């Protein structure tokens, strides 16, 4: 029974669901039930859709302008514009509707209408007038101005008409190509654009005989066969050769004038013909004018005698008036070609020389120049007013030796003036000009730099006006990079030269935070200029604070550290700060890094880099009266890259200056001759096959220690010949070395050469008498002097007196030291005679240290260490720096010094006692705690 009841219940539920589905499907059908009949009217292109507001699934179709809707029901009205249309108005029952568009109707309504009005949308038409032609847009034949708005669907006509010599290139409507005269339908905002291109025509000509023909376009030459745009303006110039004149010049067969402009309007052929010119005599004045000098030039050369020149020849009369005189007139055959009162006369002046051109038209039989005393006329000078904090302008009258007053001053014609415009820190020159002077204006200097300009007041000047302006200059370098150095100089203040004698151009070798010296010579001291008292550039420190060049160079404000790298880093003796220093005869004081390089006997180029870090010592604030604004530890770096090399001298016959850092590259399998100085020394040898280069610096500097130890006691005159590094000569047999006569023949004292003594100095400073190895001759060798045969160039001394070599010093030399002999030990010569041993003062030197990773130099920064001429030596086998010679002398200590070993045994005994005491204490501790 229960199963039967369950089946019945299931059937009932199934039937209910089917009915619900049927009812739901039936609800989607349009409501066509009778109700209120509404009249729907549509004006324009569009349609009306009706649906029930609260049930969008119920809609009421509009059929033949009518729709049946239920009464008292909110009806939603949807107005759908057609393409390119928009709804203008919508009304129901005669009342305009606003969004949302809803209405309800009752059977009793008198007005049962819905009315919609649609209108076309409007779009703009824009275009610009093209070059090379015209562009027009019309609507039914009527012009349409650019920017006009028209109805959607308007059909427009576009026409592009090229100008003469042009052709239509592109024509587009809304980016779509169209043909000229074609139509397009406006359906959106549309831009019409047209471009035209000039027609091109060829220019041809042949090179004429007896002259030249040139065609230029804007001053640039045009080659024959070139195609150029229609309308191009050309200049055709026919220049006859000497002795000829232009006969005809044509363009397409039509005569034209030489040098006149010609407008290209088609393919064209230029042609020129020349004919022999009639020659006429040109007489040179027999005497010069009393108050000046007159010279006639032809083809850039002065005419010194009467000659014959062709008609048309171009002459130049150059006149230089004497001091205090001025040219009044210049006449040729009675014709005035220069007049002092002519407005155009100023163009003839070039400094003190007046140049007047003249074309020979007939025989030149008379040339006359008249002069008068040049009247010194006052010229008013107008100076700009500069803000004092930005910079200064000083004008010095060099002729009158005075400074021109500020504001409006007075000078005279002919006075030579010097203009000095100096911006202060943080400012730069933005404009500078002077009227009434005879020199062209200089280019403006780099930001922050000063300008110096000299010129003379023109003889015809009535006023002199100076314009100048300064503007703020903000450093734009990288943070933490030192501003670009402003120069690199030697001790004399001259620009440093490389090994080939070329000056280092700072603009080519430096930038912010870097400077590269390619080819700098060893054994040099030079100065990298960071700024001076006329240009003090600003560096942006790593945290954005700023410091000037003079502040960086002040070691009381910034300390420096140096991190060296490269195979030549050992050649950097020191880098130090130098501030407010004058180099040579300079009138300015500069801020520098002083770089001292050691000598080197290497024939190879060495690279050395030094990163110099400037670090602020203390925190400063200008608000507190300090010199700057920065924090302690703020820093900036300058990377110095140096390629260090001695000067190479190649070939077999050369003169070498004494002291020059050079190395010789002899000719293989050939006789080689080298002479140092003014016949101070000579080397002659036959080079071996594949001969090696060798360092060949000859120093003639006197050794003070040797003089005091050996020369002074016997009142000897000594002359030194030091071949630095004692190089090996790559000869097939021993070379001829001649030590030349070191004195002049007209000296007050000249020893007899055969009575002189020659000594050789070894690496330890010991002297050996080698007189017997040398022979004197005036003519047997390359130079007069003492000659020996050798394979090694050493250090030699010529003495006019025999020296006492019996010295008995008890000195040991430390092979691990690097300093020169003279820097390690000072020996006081014995004054008692005999074999007494002089007292010895020992100098203990720290071992040499390389720069570490922290960038601290082995030399103390901020100080200038003593310089030594001793070079770094390079071994022939390895190419490594040999620092075993010269060596540090170690003075033998007395035997009593051995007692210093006692403290060592005392320390060991004390350590044993302490260890025992500690062990006992530990055992007691364990006992007390029952461990």
Residue 870, pLDDT > 60, answer: no
pLDDT tens digit sequence for 184-230: 999 899 999 999 999 999 999 999 999 999 999 999 999 999 999 99
The predicted pLDDT at position 672 comes to 92
pLDDT tens digit sequence for 118-147: 999 999 999 998 999 999 999 999 999 999
The angle formed by the CA atoms of residues 510, 574 and 656, to the nearest 5 degrees, is 80
The predicted pLDDT at position 189 comes to 93
CA distance 617 to 370: 73
Residue 33, pLDDT > 60, answer: no
Joined together, the tokens standing for residue 244 give 């000829």
CA distance 157 to 181: 6
Mean pLDDT value across the chain:
82
The predicted pLDDT at position 160 comes to 93
- Partners of 255 in the beta sheet? 250
The predicted pLDDT at position 208 comes to 93
Residue 734, pLDDT > 60, answer: yes
Q: How confident is the model at residue 353 (pLDDT cuts 50, 70, 90)?
A: confident
CA distance 587 to 253: 69
Q: How confident is the model at residue 663 (pLDDT cuts 50, 70, 90)?
A: confident
Q: How confident is the model at residue 689 (pLDDT cuts 50, 70, 90)?
A: confident
3-state class percentages of the chain: helix first, strand second, coil last, to nearest 5? 10, 45, 45
Nearest to 282 by CA among 356, 231, 207, 332: 332
**Rounded to 10 degrees, what is the CA torsion of 847, 853, 858, 863?**
-160
The predicted pLDDT at position 344 comes to 58
List Cβ neighbours of 479 (8 Å cut-off, separation of 6 or more). 540, 541, 542, 543, 544
Residue 863, pLDDT > 50, answer: no
The predicted pLDDT at position 902 comes to 45
The predicted pLDDT at position 279 comes to 85
The predicted pLDDT at position 871 comes to 53
pLDDT tens digit sequence for 797-851: 999 999 998 854 433 434 443 333 333 333 333 333 333 333 333 333 344 433 3
CA distance 313 to 246: 12
Q: How confident is the model at residue 154 (pLDDT cuts 50, 70, 90)?
A: very high
Rg (C-alpha) for the chain, rounded Å, is 51
* Segment among 365-369, 495-499, 864-868 with least mean pLDDT: 864-868
pLDDT tens digit sequence for 68-107: 999 888 889 998 998 889 998 999 988 888 888 899 888 8
Joined together, the tokens standing for residue 884 give 């075993």
Q: How confident is the model at residue 630 (pLDDT cuts 50, 70, 90)?
A: very high
pLDDT tens digit sequence for 316-330: 999 888 877 888 899
The secondary element (H helix, E strand) that includes residue 519 is strand 514-520
Residue 433, pLDDT > 70, answer: yes
Helix H segments across 44-158?
A: none
The predicted pLDDT at position 388 comes to 82
**Cis? peptide before 886, omega within 30° of 0:** yes
The predicted pLDDT at position 8 comes to 44
The secondary element (H helix, E strand) that includes residue 256 is none
Alpha-carbon 636 to chain mean position: 21
CA distance 150 to 144: 9
pLDDT, average across residues 395-419: 87
pLDDT tens digit sequence for 272-318: 999 988 888 999 888 888 888 999 999 889 998 899 888 888 899 99
Q: Please tell me which of 156-160, 352-356, 648-652, 810-814 the model is most confident about, judged by mean pLDDT.
A: 156-160
The predicted pLDDT at position 888 comes to 37
Residue 117, pLDDT > 80, answer: yes
Residue 609, pLDDT > 90, answer: yes
The predicted pLDDT at position 417 comes to 92
CA distance 599 to 847: 20
Residue 42, pLDDT > 70, answer: yes
Fold of 648-803: Chondroitinase Ac; Chain A, domain 3 (2.60.220)
Q: Please tell me which of 150-154, 434-438, 620-624, 884-888 the model is most confident about, judged by mean pLDDT.
A: 150-154
3-state secondary structure of 664: strand
- Partners of 888 in the beta sheet? 814
**Neighbour count for residue 828 (Cβ, 10 Å):** 11
The predicted pLDDT at position 515 comes to 96
The predicted pLDDT at position 922 comes to 58
CA distance 61 to 125: 40
The answer to whether the CB of 344 falls within 8 A of the CB of 460 is no
Helix H segments across 539-680?
A: 549-552
Q: Please tell me which of 474-478, 527-531, 744-748 the model is most confident about, judged by mean pLDDT.
A: 527-531
Residue 52: CA count within 13 A, CB half-sphere: 17
Residue 696, pLDDT > 80, answer: yes
The secondary element (H helix, E strand) that includes residue 919 is helix 902-928
Phi, psi of 180, deg, nearest 5: -60, 130
The predicted pLDDT at position 58 comes to 87
List Cβ neighbours of 132 (8 Å cut-off, separation of 6 or more). 162, 163, 166, 195, 196, 197, 198
pLDDT, average across residues 531-547: 88
pTM confidence score: 0.45
pLDDT, average across residues 611-635: 90
Residue 6, pLDDT > 60, answer: no
List Cβ neighbours of 279 (8 Å cut-off, separation of 6 or more). 243, 308, 309, 310, 311
Q: How confident is the model at residue 909 (pLDDT cuts 50, 70, 90)?
A: low
Residue tagged 């028209």 (tokens): 150
CA distance 608 to 622: 38
* Segment among 438-452, 721-735, 767-781 with least mean pLDDT: 438-452
Helix H segments across 260-332?
A: none
200-276: in CATH 3.20.20.70: no
3-state secondary structure of 348: helix
pLDDT cut 70: percent of the chain above it: 81
**Rounded to 10 degrees, what is the CA torsion of 141, 146, 148, 152?**
70
Residue 350, pLDDT > 80, answer: no
Q: How confident is the model at residue 626 (pLDDT cuts 50, 70, 90)?
A: confident
Joined together, the tokens standing for residue 705 give 């220690």
- Partners of 497 in the beta sheet? 503
Torsion sign over Cα 781, 784, 786, 792? negative
CA distance 554 to 542: 18
Higher pLDDT, 486 or 408: 486
Q: Are strands 647-650 and 662-665 parallel, antiparallel or unpaired?
A: parallel
The secondary element (H helix, E strand) that includes residue 340 is none
Nearest to 307 by CA among 356, 244, 240, 364: 364
CA distance 561 to 851: 10
Q: How confident is the model at residue 500 (pLDDT cuts 50, 70, 90)?
A: confident
Residue 346, pLDDT > 80, answer: no
Higher pLDDT, 353 or 441: 441
Exposure string of 268-295, with b = 16+ CB inside 10 Å and e = fewer, is bebbbbbeebeebebeeeeeebebbebe
CA distance 483 to 481: 6
CA distance 164 to 180: 17
Joined together, the tokens standing for residue 73 give 């029901």
CA distances from 585 to 494, 503, 588, 589, 916 (A): 10, 19, 9, 10, 76
Backbone φ/ψ region at 587: left (φ over 0), alpha (ψ -120 to 50), beta: alpha
The answer to whether the CB of 883 falls within 8 A of the CB of 819 is no
Beta strands in 333-446 (DSSP E): 335-339, 349-350, 353-359, 367-373, 378-382, 391-397, 402-403, 408-412, 416-423, 427-434
């Amino acid at each position: 029974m229960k199963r039967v009841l369950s089946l019945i219940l299931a059937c009932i539920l199934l039937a209910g669901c089917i009915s619900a589905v049927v009812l739901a499907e039936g609800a989607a059908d349009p409501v066509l039930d009778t109700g209120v009949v509404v009249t729907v009217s549509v004006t324009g292109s569009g349609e009306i859709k009706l649906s029930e507001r609260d049930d969008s699934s119920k809609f009421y179709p509009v059929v033949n302008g009518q729709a049946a809707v239920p009464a008292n029901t909110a009806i939603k009205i949807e107005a759908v514009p057609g393409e390119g249309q928009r709804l203008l108005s919508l009304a129901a029952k005669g009342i305009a509707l606003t969004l949302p568009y809803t209405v309800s109707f009752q059977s009793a309504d008198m007005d049962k209408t819905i009315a919609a009005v649609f209108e076309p949308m409007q779009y703009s038409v824009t275009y610009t007038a093209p070059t090379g032609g015209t562009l027009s847009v019309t609507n039914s034949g009527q012009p349409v101005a650019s920017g006009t708005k028209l109805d959607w669907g308007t059909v427009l006509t576009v026409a592009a008409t090229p100008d003469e010599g042009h052709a239509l290139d592109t024509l587009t409507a809304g980016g779509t190509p169209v043909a000229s005269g074609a139509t397009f339908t406006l359906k959106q905002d549309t831009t019409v654009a047209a471009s035209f291109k000039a027609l091109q025509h060829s220019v041809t000509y042949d090179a004429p005989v007896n002259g030249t023909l040139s065609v230029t376009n804007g001053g640039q030459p045009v080659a024959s066969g070139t195609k150029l745009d229609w309308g191009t303006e050309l200049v055709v110039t026919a220049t006859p050769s000497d002795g000829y004149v232009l006969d005809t010049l044509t363009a397409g067969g039509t005569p034209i004038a030489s040098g006149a402009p010609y407008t290209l309007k088609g393919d064209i052929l230029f042609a020129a013909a020349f004919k022999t010119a009639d020659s006429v005599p040109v007489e040179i004045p027999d005497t010069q004018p009393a108050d000046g000098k007159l010279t006639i030039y032809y083809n850039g050369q002065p005419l010194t005698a009467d000659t014959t020149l062709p008609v048309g020849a171009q002459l130049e009369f150059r006149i230089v008036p004497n001091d205090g005189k001025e040219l009044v007139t210049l006449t040729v055959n009675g014709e005035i070609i220069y007049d002092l009162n002519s407005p155009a006369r100023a163009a003839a002046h070039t400094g003190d020389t007046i140049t007047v051109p003249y074309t020979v038209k007939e025989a030149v039989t008379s040339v006359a120049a008249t002069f008068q005393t040049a009247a010194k006329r006052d010229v008013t000078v107008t100076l700009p007013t500069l803000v004092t904090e930005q910079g200064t302008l000083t004008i010095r009258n060099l002729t009158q030796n005075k400074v021109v007053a500020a504001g409006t001053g007075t000078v005279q014609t002919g006075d030579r003036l010097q203009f000095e415009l100096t911006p202060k820190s943080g400012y730069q020159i933005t404009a500078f000009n002077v009227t009434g002077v005879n020199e062209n204006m200089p280019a403006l200097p780099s930001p922050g730099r000063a300008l110096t300009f000299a010129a003379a007041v023109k003889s015809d000047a009535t006023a002199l006006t100076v314009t100048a302006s300064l503007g703020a200059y903000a450093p734009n370098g990288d943070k933490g990079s030192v501003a670009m150095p402003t120069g690199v100089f030697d001790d004399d203040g001259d620009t440093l030269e490389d090994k080939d004698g070329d000056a280092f151009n700072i603009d080519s070798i430096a930038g912010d935070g870097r400077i590269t010296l390619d080819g700098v010579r060893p054994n040099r001291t030079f100065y990298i200029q960071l700024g001076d008292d006329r240009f003090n550039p600003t560096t942006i420190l790593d945290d954005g604070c700023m410091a000037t060049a003079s502040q960086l160079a002040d070691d009381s404000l910034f300390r420096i550290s140096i991190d060296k790298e490269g195979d030549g880093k050992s050649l950097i003796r020191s880098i130090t700060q130098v501030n407010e220093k004058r180099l040579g005869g300079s009138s300015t004081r500069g801020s520098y890094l002083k770089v001292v390089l050691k000598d080197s006997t290497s024939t190879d180029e060495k690279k050395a880099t030094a990163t110099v870090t400037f670090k602020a010592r203390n925190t400063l604030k200008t608000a507190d009266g300090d010199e700057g604004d920065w924090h302690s530890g703020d820093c900036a770096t300058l990377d110095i890259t140096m390629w260090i090399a001695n000067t190479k001298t190649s070939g077999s016959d050369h003169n070498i200056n004494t002291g020059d850092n050079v190395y010789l590259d002899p000719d293989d399998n050939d006789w080689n001759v080298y002479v140092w100085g003014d016949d101070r020394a000579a080397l002659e040898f036959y080079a071996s096959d594949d001969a090696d280069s060798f360092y060949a610096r000859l120093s003639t500097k006197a050794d003070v220690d040797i003089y005091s130890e050996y020369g002074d006691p016997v009142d000897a005159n000594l002359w030194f010949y030091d071949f630095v590094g004692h190089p090996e000569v790559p000869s097939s047999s021993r070379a001829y070395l001649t030590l030349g006569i070191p004195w002049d023949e007209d000296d007050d004292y000249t020893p007899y050469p055969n009575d002189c003594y020659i000594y050789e100095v070894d690496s330890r400073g010991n002297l050996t008498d080698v007189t017997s190895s040398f022979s004197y001759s005036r003519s047997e060798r390359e130079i007069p002097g003492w000659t020996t045969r050798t394979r090694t160039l050493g250090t030699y001394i010529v003495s006019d007196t025999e020296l006492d070599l019996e010295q008995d010093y008890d000195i040991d030399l430390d092979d691990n030291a690097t300093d020169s002999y003279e820097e390690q030990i000072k020996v006081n010569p014995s004054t008692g005679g005999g074999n007494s041993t002089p007292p010895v003062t020992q100098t203990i030197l720290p071992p040499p240290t390389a720069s570490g990773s922290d960038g601290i130099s082995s030399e103390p920064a901020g100080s200038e260490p003593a310089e030594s001429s001793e070079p770094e030596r390079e071994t022939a086998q390895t190419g490594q720096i040999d620092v075993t010679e010269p060596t540090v002398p170690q003075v033998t200590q007395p035997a009593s010094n051995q007692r210093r070993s006692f403290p060592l045994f005392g320390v060991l005994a004390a350590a044993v006692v302490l260890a025992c005491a500690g062990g006992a204490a530990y055992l007691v501790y364990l006992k007390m705690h029952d461990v």
